[in-house]
Amino acid sequence: MSVSHVARHGLLTAVAVAAAAVGAGAAMAEDLKLGVCEGVSGYLGIVGQPNVQGIEMAVDEINAAGGIDGKWKIETKIQDIRSEVPPSAVCATEMVAWGAHVVISPTDVDHSVAVAQETQPKNILTISSSASSPILPAMVGDYLFTWFTADNLQGAAMAQYAWDQGYRKAYLLGSHDIPYTELLPGYFAWSFEKLGGKVLGWGTYTLGQQDFSAEVTKIANLEEKPDVIHTSAFEPDIGAFMTQLRQAGVTTPVVGSDGSDTASTFGLGDIAEGYVLTTAADPSLEPKVADFFKMFEEKKGEKVSAANYVTAYELVYAIAEAVKVAGGLDTTAIRDAFANLDNWAGTTGPVTYKGTERNPIRTVYIVGVKSSQRVGITKVNPAADKVAPASVNYTKDREG
């Protein structure tokens, strides 16, 4: 999930997480030291908390089974960076001093950059748990990776879905305030045009904006009508926009992205009926995801639906696979093995890094709103040549 957008949700769940070791007894010399710098309290908590729980579950399983390949147990050090950038850098420094072999960095771009600036010089594989911006890995160096479904991959998947629905003309709604809301609609547009679609135009808004009347009027008065509107808006913006759009009598289908994959979106009622978005996992579309949610509920006594639980869980298993392939705990060998994962069988679907710019090629899930319920629609694996380069900034390129 792109992370800066979570800040505007206003969903704060403060949970103090102390540095913790997972696994029995003190660390052995051959333990894999997995550092986790995550925003568990503060605005990132809505994503950070599921990430930590998914990580812990995977570590417990692997250690209970005898460790990675029966050779290496996993010791974790989990530190709450409080959704702030300076503590992210402090956390990274402490992970380096602790001797971490791999570090999982926070759910946001700025926070992950702060971590990677400390771990990159030490050749420590660093993977952002949920940041989805494809420009992130290039910001620091070749030891920084993303794990979550990248924004350009989401854009390509939604473009394919829209094309398959018979949509041929699109309108974009984005915000220049953060990369997620600025770039993702453009990634969709790039892929949509590659398929043969036409972009009629775009509008902009400010994060937290509640009055969309001017933008709605502009859409309603378009001489050439779009078949679909794409936006990466999230709550509260998506709710305000959809409400005013429908109240104005505009019935054009609206499609979006994972930032709006929240209970508040699905609770909008009739206003959101038919809204479709991309996300990283859905239990109704993948039996292995359904099995994970069932297992989590049985072990933790609580129901879950957020994709972050399962993506963080499978990330630990991907790291374990890299250690197994590397044949030991040399950090460069682990990094190289991770970078060459090819069609690795994750819980949500196959994951590939080989031949990429350290953003994974993975399955994108399409879900929608039906009678105020989240319903799975389909899974999409976009063709590589239909995925926009990370550097694409569609609207700014054309405004310039």
User: Is 307 found in the same domain as 249?
Assistant: no
Q: Burial-class residue 278 by CB neighbours within 10 Å (0-12, 13-18, 19+).
A: buried
Number of domains in the chain: 2
User: Is 391 found in the same domain as 265?
Assistant: yes
Looking at residue 15, what is its pLDDT?
A: 38
Across the beta sheet with 344-345, what order do the strands follow? Answer: 344-345, 350-352, 361-362
More confident residue, 163 or 400: 163
User: Is 238 found in the same domain as 381?
Assistant: yes
Task: Give the residue-averaged pLDDT of 153-169.
Answer: 98
pLDDT tens by residue, 2-51: 444 443 333 333 333 443 434 333 444 489 999 999 999 998 998 999 99
User: Is 90 found in the same domain as 69?
Assistant: yes
Q: Is 92's pLDDT higher than 90?
A: yes
User: Is 371 found in the same domain as 357?
Assistant: no
Task: Give the residue-averaged pLDDT of 237-265.
Answer: 95
Residues 55-90 as b or e (16 or more Cβ within 10 Å = b): bbbbbbebbeeebbeeebbbbbbbbbbbbbeebbbb
User: Is 115 found in the same domain as 157?
Assistant: no
Quick one: pLDDT band at residue 400, thresholds 50, 70, 90?
A: low
User: Is 185 found in the same domain as 298?
Assistant: no
User: Is 45 found in the same domain as 15?
Assistant: yes
Looking at residue 264, what is its pLDDT?
A: 86
pLDDT tens by residue, 162-212: 999 999 999 999 999 988 999 999 999 999 999 999 999 999 999 999 999
Quick one: pLDDT band at residue 396, thresholds 50, 70, 90?
A: confident
Record the pTM: 0.88
Length of the chain: 400
User: Is 246 found in the same domain as 113?
Assistant: no
User: Is 313 found in the same domain as 271?
Assistant: no
User: Is 98 found in the same domain as 13?
Assistant: yes
Over pLDDT 70: what percentage of the chain?
A: 92
Quick one: pLDDT band at residue 305, thresholds 50, 70, 90?
A: confident
CATH number of the domain at 256, please: 3.40.50.2300
Instruction: Give the domain extent around 115.
Output: 4-149+285-362
User: Is 240 found in the same domain as 317?
Assistant: no
Specify the residue for token string 């394919």: 160
* Residues 6+ positions from 344 with CB-CB distance below 8 Å: 318, 321, 350, 351, 352
pLDDT tens by residue, 325-355: 999 999 999 999 999 999 999 999 999 999 9
Handedness of CA 160, 381, 308, 341 (dihedral sign): negative
Looking at residue 383, what is its pLDDT?
A: 85
Looking at residue 169, what is its pLDDT?
A: 98
pLDDT tens by residue, 129-152: 999 999 999 999 999 999 999 999
Copy the structure tokens of residue 188.
């969709």
Task: Give the residue-averaged pLDDT of 258-280.
Answer: 93
Cβ atoms of 360 and 384 closer than 8 Å: no
Over pLDDT 90: what percentage of the chain?
A: 84
